[in-house]
Amino acid sequence: MSELKLPSIDYAALAPTLILLGAALVGVLVEAFVPRRLRHVVQLAVALLAVLGALTMVVLNANDRLITIGGAIAIDGPALFLQGAILVLAAMALLLIGERTVERGGAFVAQAAVTAESADDRRQAEGAPGATEVYPLTSFAVGGMLIFVAANDLLTMFIALEVFSLPLYLLCALARRRRLLSQEAAMKYFLLGAYASAFFLFGVALVYGFTAGTPGRAAGVDFATIHAAVGESSSSSVLLFGGMALIAIGLLFKAGAAPFHVWTPDVYQGAPTPITGFMAACTKVAAFGALLRVFHVAFEGARWDFTPVLGVVAVLTMLVGAVLAVTQTDIKRLLAYSSIANAGYLLVGVLAPTSDGVSGTMFYLVAYGFSVLAAFAVVTLVRDADGEATHLSRWAGLGQRSPFYAGLFTFILLAFAGIPLTSGFTSKFAVFSAAFDGGQGWLVIAGVLTSMVLAFPYLRVVVLMWLSEPGESTPAVVMPGWLTSAALTIGVVATLVLGVFPQPLLDLAAGAAEFVR
Amino acid sequence: MMEILAKAPVEPVGAVTYGTAEGLLGSVWLLVAIPLVSAAILLLLGRRADRWGHWLGVASVGVAFLLGLTYFFQLRGVENRSVELSLWDFIAVGDLRVDFGLLFDPLAAVFVLLITGVGFLIHLYAVEYMAHDPGRRRFFAYFNLFVAAMLLLVLGNNYVMLFFGWEGVGLASYLLISFWYVRPAAATAGKKAFLMNRVGDAGLLIGIFIMFATLGTTQYDEVFSGVGSLTATTVLLLGLLLLLGAAGKSGQFPLQAWLPDAMEGPTPVSALIHAATMVTAGVYLIARSNPIFSANSTLQLVVVSVGALTLLLGAIIGMAKDDIKRVLAWSTVSQIGYMFLGVGLGGAAYALAIVHLLAHGFFKANMFLGAGSVMHGMKDQVDIRRFGGLAKYMKITWLTFMAGWLAIIGLPPFSGFFSKEPIIVAAFERDDWTAWLFGMAALLGAGLTAFYMTRLFVLTFHGPARWTEEIDHPHESPKLMTIPLILLAVGSIGAGALMVGPVPEWLEATAGLGGGSEAAHETVLSHLAITILSIGVTVIGAGLAWFLFRRGTATEPQPAGVLVTAARKNLYTDAVNETVFEKPGIFLTRALVYLDNRGIDGLVNALAAGVGGGSGRLRRLQTGFVRSYATSILAGALLVVAAFLAVEAGWLV
């Protein structure tokens, strides 16, 4: 009997993921054993400490460039940078999730099982403390994302995809108010997410079949094998291209690229706003991290074949996001379409065939994440007795009611519009110049033109806030608690600093742009 | 004047270098920072600053002017008369380095003086003009913001910095046009200005990316030094994109339609942004990029054609308008056409265009503020058919406006003569038959200008009073408004004669402007003949208008022939825009909304929910069915897979 050979595991390199998943498990135990009135504080502390601990480990691991746990996980520059980005943004999202002073009991339903719109439901909406299960769920999701951006084979990637998606579906359903909307959003997200996962998995199967034809190598779905197969495999390339297409579809769904974006507006609108912010920032980072790795490592050899197709997807995504944002009348839907358009710009970075493209995309992800979380933080504050007032007509004249918060929101909108001296300009500049340099001029032209269109809905909101008289239905801004204030401050300051002094982060991204293979 | 004209077209410049800013010039960033800080204070302090905020706004621009003057004199002792100040490395991605830096050279210096000098007077005027507006503090905040952005635009040392200012002035302009948001026309005009500017901005931005892709830099000195290494096609493309940007900002054909509509904003805005400064940014861009434009003769021909076409277009439409500010606006379009003609001709005409720009800044701001003063006394009416005989009621406004009128029609010895006539001469100096084409266009433009400006002047200040019933006694404006008028009138009279000598000489040190010294080109007509002709058409145009309108005019527009009707309708350019851009845009939006399954439903339902807000409505809020989403994802998936397989089979790519 031969000795069972265990793969070597570098626990230090895996520590960020392990800490998060461990914290999630601790969170489950807290639910069981800690008295109800303490749970909120304990859970928030556990989740935040776990994120900060994981971040510390990422920083300590900063110089790692290795593949561990039997080739399943690659800890390299992009993985560490993106893990760091996810953790920082997740910390901000946790601050929003933990807020309980803006609305009594927080943004989440107290008991998810109560029938929506019933008398019990109305009672819980009036201030029963919100469910604390959201913290372990968030920790699980963050843990899954950390694996997702570091996965070095397609199966690990698939499992990570499910690990971070399932908690998100649940989190979407937990809004305190407008619960039917919230549950409907979660249901849609779940069904369509499962649908997209099936595409991904089928693609993995096809690619596996393709790698079987590589002379001198066993079939496999790890990226090194796929990379080798793209150049050498004797199998029919229909398998490769079909598989590549299906894998791309699965990832583009998560990224919110057209025509796989249809879930985005409904889910963004229905989900509790802190969760919307969390998805807009962290899910984007995770999805594009995976896209970068799949297309820059595994399928690198087929670059000239996938670029035109994905380029068309990128152009379509920018166009759909920008044009439809113009017609929106709900601030959360508007931000949803804006995130779709931003997915298009990010794809431009992914398709730039150089390491500048990788670093530009990573910079963009971080910059956008900060801004979008700050934007949703403001959305949580504009409310009346029935909860958040998300219809745009309610925002008319907000600048006169609450100039400070309207000012902050204006600044964030200007950043989204790509006005210079905000991070929105520097990040677009970074990806566009990388793409132009890489010979993808047509994508840049489409990007510039659509971003000109996209600036319009943002400025319409600005004008609405500042240049309209407040109506009777214009709500005032609720004073944020310190958690929301902290998240908002971090987001706004980051948007400004990355607009004026982007160089340190650009350097960091450039230094982390090489994948290990 | 012949010495200036003797400066022949400039060939691609050699290496361009700038000195480093030291000593006092090291603080040149203050020019941008002071108005910016003032704007921030006014916005952040809110109502607390209502009582004194406007004076802070005025003071900040005044200080910037004094500083600008100091720097201006400092420049005399500097080699090349150009200094660069690099503040920090802004972006460095791969090979691309963008410096956050400023460049203070003669071209930037004259713009700084124009922006802060004329800007200061207009700020002063606005204190009184906006006195009864509850949003005065906010107005001054946006005004300061505009000045800061405009200064950044002219002071940047690379195209990205220019783009920063470019976007900033666009934003401030949009806010200021929409300032009187209660007027629907103002809001629409703001939108139109914004959208048409975005078309131009997109051109500029893509041009910047091309620069980066081909030259690897956007620094002025490196770009200009590297232009020689580019192919003719690249230079042409680059130049056309920059021209598109310039045309958008400066209201030139085919992007001219927004500028007259922008007159819905408060009058000081029209004077500062839409007459004296922002709209000349396009001229600045082309003058600054002269090594690019001089490197390709086709490009120059395009610029000249745009200029000639626009100057005629603006003048013809201006003749048929009855709104005092719109006539002035179309006149601005037309005068900037002259400047484009100048910069397009290249060589020494660059400097002439800048001189005309400065002179125009004075007399047009003067007339806009004069129009504001008339409106002030006439209960905000703008229809010149209902003015008349105001000369005796508003002596100062009348006299100052007269100075502007004489200046713009270009009779000696007023400033327009010294700045416009050389451009006409230069147009006649071209080598081939186009000399006749552009020369005659410029000459005809002079006659038309004389006609519509005289019509405006006579109908407003002379002839019988044709006031509406609500006006009983027009009154002169208060001192705070008339003093800036007087100062600007002095500028209108004297500026041209004073500037035509020293300014071109001063500008020579700017990269690419001046330096060449070939023999003078022969004009197709003698210089004297052109001068006599241009004075002749001016006198004819002005005399005709005087003769036709000295007894007033009908108080309502009368039925008119084809040409006048066409001119009243802006020569149908709006209709063209509508069919070519607006309709397809609306169609595209509708199609996308339709394809997006439920965009329309979402819109309608969200509206309903916003109005009602009840749970019953909310229940119906999301009508997008999962099945239709799944179908569209499936359809998209099939397309993507099919596309990949087509690539594999070699059908694509």
Q: SS in 3 state form for B62-81?
A: HHHHHHHHHHHHHHHHCHHH
Distance from CA of A60 to the nearest CA of B (A): 26
Residue B183 confidence class, pLDDT cut points 50, 70, 90: low
Distance from CA of B41 to the nearest CA of A (A): 13
ipTM of the complex in this document: 0.89
Cβ separation B91–A313 shorter than 8 A: no
Cβ separation A192–B629 shorter than 8 A: yes
Q: Is A456 on the interface with B (CB under 8 A)?
A: yes
Res B269: pLDDT: 83
CA distances from B450 to B363, B378, B494 (A): 14, 25, 19
> Distance between CA A28 and CA B35 in Å, rounded?
56
Q: Is A180 on the interface with B (CB under 8 A)?
A: yes
Residue B492 included in any domain? yes
B66-B72-B73-B77 Cα dihedral, nearest 10 degrees: 150
Number of domains observed in the structure of chain B: 1
Pairing state of beta strands A383-384 and A387-388?
A: antiparallel
Cβ separation A456–B198 shorter than 8 A: yes
What is the DSSP code (8-state) at residue A62?
T
Residue B31 included in any domain? no
Residue B6 included in any domain? yes
Residue B21 included in any domain? no
**Mean pLDDT throughout B460-473?**
78
Residue B325 included in any domain? yes
Taking CA–CA distances from B586, the nearest residue in chain A reads A323
Q: Is A441 on the interface with B (CB under 8 A)?
A: yes
Tens digit of each residue's pLDDT, chain A (517 residues): 567 777 888 999 999 999 999 999 999 999 999 998 899 999 999 999 999 999 999 999 999 899 988 889 999 999 999 999 999 999 999 999 999 888 888 888 888 888 888 888 888 877 788 889 999 999 999 999 999 999 999 999 999 999 999 999 999 999 988 888 899 999 999 999 999 999 999 999 999 999 998 888 888 899 999 999 998 888 888 999 999 999 999 999 999 998 899 899 999 999 999 999 999 999 999 999 999 999 999 999 888 889 999 999 999 999 989 888 888 888 999 999 999 999 999 999 999 988 889 999 999 999 999 999 999 999 999 888 778 888 888 888 888 788 888 889 999 999 998 888 889 999 998 899 889 888 888 899 899 888 888 888 888 888 788 777 777 777 777 788 889 999 999 999 999 999 988 989 999 999 998 998 7
The number of helices, as runs of H, and strands, as runs of E, in chain A is 21, 4
- Residue B267 in tokens: 């009058």
Better pLDDT: B379 or A204: A204
Query: Domain residues for B541?
Result: 1-15+317-557
> Distance between CA B594 and CA B585 in Å, rounded?
14
Rg, Å, chain A Cα set: 22
Identify from B89, B205, B240 which residue to disrupt to test chain A contact, counting A C-beta atoms within 10 A and taking the largest count: B205
Residue B8 included in any domain? yes
Cβ separation A266–B622 shorter than 8 A: yes
Pick from B43, B597, B615: which is nearest to A117 by CB?
Answer: B615
Percent of chain B exceeding pLDDT 90 equals 7
Q: How many residues make up chain A in this entry?
A: 517
Taking CA–CA distances from B218, the nearest residue in chain A reads A433
Contacts of B622 in chain A (CB under 8 A): 181, 184-185, 188, 266, 269-270
pLDDT at B6 over 70: no
Cβ separation B592–A323 shorter than 8 A: yes
Contacts of B237 in chain A (CB under 8 A): none
DSSP secondary structure letters along A469-509 = ---TTPPPBPPP-HHHHHHHHHHHHHHHHHHH--HHHHHHH
Handedness of CA A501, A502, A504, A507 (dihedral sign): negative
Cβ separation A306–B644 shorter than 8 A: yes
Cβ separation A323–B621 shorter than 8 A: no
Q: Is A437 on the interface with B (CB under 8 A)?
A: yes
Residue B297 included in any domain? no
Per domain, the residue ranges of chain A are 11-511
Contacts of A248 in chain B (CB under 8 A): 640
DSSP-assigned beta bridge partners for residue A116: none
Residue B168 included in any domain? no
Distance from CA of B342 to the nearest CA of A (A): 30
Cβ separation A308–B639 shorter than 8 A: no
The model carries a pTM of 0.83
Residues 119-138 on A with a CB inside 8 Å of B are: none
Contacts of B630 in chain A (CB under 8 A): 191-192, 195
Pick from B202, B599, B629: which is nearest to A448 by CB?
Answer: B202
What is the DSSP code (8-state) at residue B582?
I
Cβ separation B641–A430 shorter than 8 A: no
